[in-house]
Amino acid sequence: MLRSQQLLRRTVALARAAAGRGAVRSFAGKAEAAEQHVEVPLPMYGVAGKYASALYVTAVRSNVLDPVETELQQVIGAAEQNPVFADFLKDPSVSKTMRMKAMEEIFGQTKFSDVTKNFLAVLAENGRLSQLQRISGCYSELLHAHRGEVQALVTAALELSPAELEDIKNALRGYLKPGQTLKVEQKVDRSIIGGIVVDIQDKHIDLSIDTKIKQMEKLLAEAI
C-alpha cells in the first residue's frame, strides 16, 4: 500500500531538493527476466499501447501479471486522492531527474514488485508519467485478452432488469470464440432516451431511440 499523503508531500519536496542525486537504470536493465518469447494477446496502438505491451511482456516473464495490474491501480488511486502527487506527475516543468527521484523515494518503500517499480522509473525517465492511467487501461485490456475475457459495455437509459441483462448477454455470446468468457458492464445514460448501445471488442451497436430519432430527422431533412 502507498504511504499517507504526508509521505507523498514530503517525498515530492525531497525529490525537488535532491534532484541531482542518483539515477534510475532502464526498464529492461532493472527488470531483466528469462528471455522466453512472449506473444502479446491483443494488438495495442499509440504511446500508451506500446508501453502497456512492453510491460505485459516483462510481467509475463517475471510471473507477476496480476500484481502489476493491482499496483498500477494503487498508484492511480493515490494520484486521484492526492492533488499534490497528481500535479507532480503531470507538471511539465518538473525535470526527469526530479520525477525519477520521486519514484525512487515513494515506491522504494512499498512492497510493489520490481517490475512495477522499474516500469514507473522508466515512465519518469521518459517523461510519460502523465500517460500512466491510459497505460494502465491498455494493460488491463491485455490481461482480459490473456484470460480469454471479452469486455462488453451495455448503455441504457435506465438500469436494466436482471432478465433483460441476461437476454443481452445471451445475444452477445454469439460474438465469442471457443474458450472465451463474457464480462458485461452496465452504464446508465438518460440522454439516449431508450433502447441500448453496446460496445464489444471493435463493434459499436447503437440501438438507442436517440439515434433512431436523429436518423429520421436526417431522412426528413433530405426529403425536403
What pLDDT score was predicted for residue 69?
96
Who contacts 13 (Cβ-Cβ below 8 Å, separation ≥6)?
none
Q: What percent of the chain has pLDDT over 70?
A: 83
Paired residues of 199 in beta bridges: 153, 204
pLDDT in tens, 68-122: 999 999 999 988 998 888 888 778 787 777 777 777 777 767 788 999 988 988 8
Q: Which of 205, 105, 115 is nearest to 153 (CA)?
A: 205
Contact 8, 82 (CB under 8 A): yes
Average of per-residue pLDDT across 128-153 = 93
Whether residue 15 has pLDDT greater than 60: no
Output the pLDDT for position 82: 87
CA angle, residues 48, 196, 43, in degrees to nearest 5: 25
d(CA 67, CA 73): 10
Instruction: Give the architecture-level CATH label for domain 5-144.
Output: Orthogonal Bundle (1.10)
pLDDT, residue 99, reads 76
Q: Where are the beta strands (DSSP E) in 60-124?
A: none
In the block, cell 522466453 appears at: 36
